[in-house]
């Protein structure tokens, strides 16, 4: 498998955003390459991980923390964000309110204070977008966020999302 002498980078990755934007689906698409159409709110602490080899040969263990229904109360427990390297802030392109609430989630991340690389993720891009892509992109630029459009359903850009930001984190570790 991997040689034991090889350094493995552990990257704590957190998913934030409104309920039903596709956080759990995105994590499961990345880790298991599967998608489930039925909606099951995440209950209880959820943690999954995946080891991948990045383009430059770096071995990375993405430790992905999925909210355990905390988004319902809009209160992320500090433990959830503590020590995170990457935060994906998701919205659902078919749900404008979830885009409006991105500001709230960014604030929650800022309160936490740690250096965390943040990506604005426009999920459900397999569907017709109601949120303007142009507005989302300029919002991302003005907040110095990267912007990636994904579909947990088709898998579009899901690997790219993790690999690209993972490489940036490793560079600075
Ligand atoms: P969470 O509450 O943010 O964890 O959202 P879920 O991952 O539970 O997804 C909520 C609903 O949206 C489920 O019915 C999913 O099947 C659906 N969903 C998630 N991602 C996508 C996507 O990329 N495209 C489409 N069409 N549906 C999605
Ligand atoms: Mg969930």
Report how far ligand 1's centroid is from the alpha carbon of 24 (Å): 7
Q: Is the shortest distance between the CB of 23 and ligand 1 below 6 Å? A: yes
Ligand closest to CA 46? 2
Q: Is the shortest distance between the CB of 123 and ligand 1 below 6 Å? A: yes
Mean pLDDT for back-to-back runs of 10 residues, the chain (173 residues):
72 94 95 84 74 92 85 74 93 98 91 82 98 98 96 98 96 91
Residue 82 pLDDT: 86
Residue 39 pLDDT: 64
Starting at the earlier edge strand, list the strands of the sheet with 117-123: 46-53, 59-66, 8-17, 86-92, 117-123, 146-149
Q: Is the ipTM value over 0.90, yes or no?
A: yes
The closest alpha carbon to 116, from 22, 10, 13, 21, belongs to 13
Residue 41 pLDDT: 66
State the closest ligand 1 atom to the C-alpha of 127, by its place in the atom list counted from 1: 26
Instruction: Identify which of 14, 22, 69 to mutate to test ligand 1's pocket (most ligand atoms within 8 A of the CB).
Output: 22
Residue 81 pLDDT: 85
Q: Is the shortest distance between the CB of 98 and ligand 1 below 6 Å? A: no
Residue 72 pLDDT: 72
Report how far ligand 2's centroid is from the alpha carbon of 23 (Å): 5
């Amino acid at each position: 498998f991997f040689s034991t002498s090889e350094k493995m980078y552990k990257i704590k990755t957190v998913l934030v955003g409104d309920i039903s934007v596709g956080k759990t689906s995105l994590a499961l698409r990345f880790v298991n390459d599967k998608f489930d159409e039925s909606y099951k709110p995440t209950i209880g602490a959820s943690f999954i991980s995946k080891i991948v080899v990045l383009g430059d040969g770096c071995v990375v263990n993405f430790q992905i923390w999925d909210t355990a229904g905390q988004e319902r109360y809009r209160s992320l427990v500090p433990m959830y964000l503590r020590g995170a390297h990457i935060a994906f802030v998701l919205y659902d392109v078919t749900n404008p309110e979830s885009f409006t609430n991105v500001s709230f989630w960014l604030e929650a991340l800022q309160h936490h204070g740690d250096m965390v690389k943040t990506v604005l993720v426009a999920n459900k891009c397999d569907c017709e977008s109601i949120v303007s892509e142009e507005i989302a992109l300029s919002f991302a630029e003005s907040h110095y966020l990267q912007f990636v459009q994904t579909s947990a359903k088709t898998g579009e850009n899901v690997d790219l999302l993790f690999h690209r930001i993972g490489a940036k984190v490793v560079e600075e570790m």
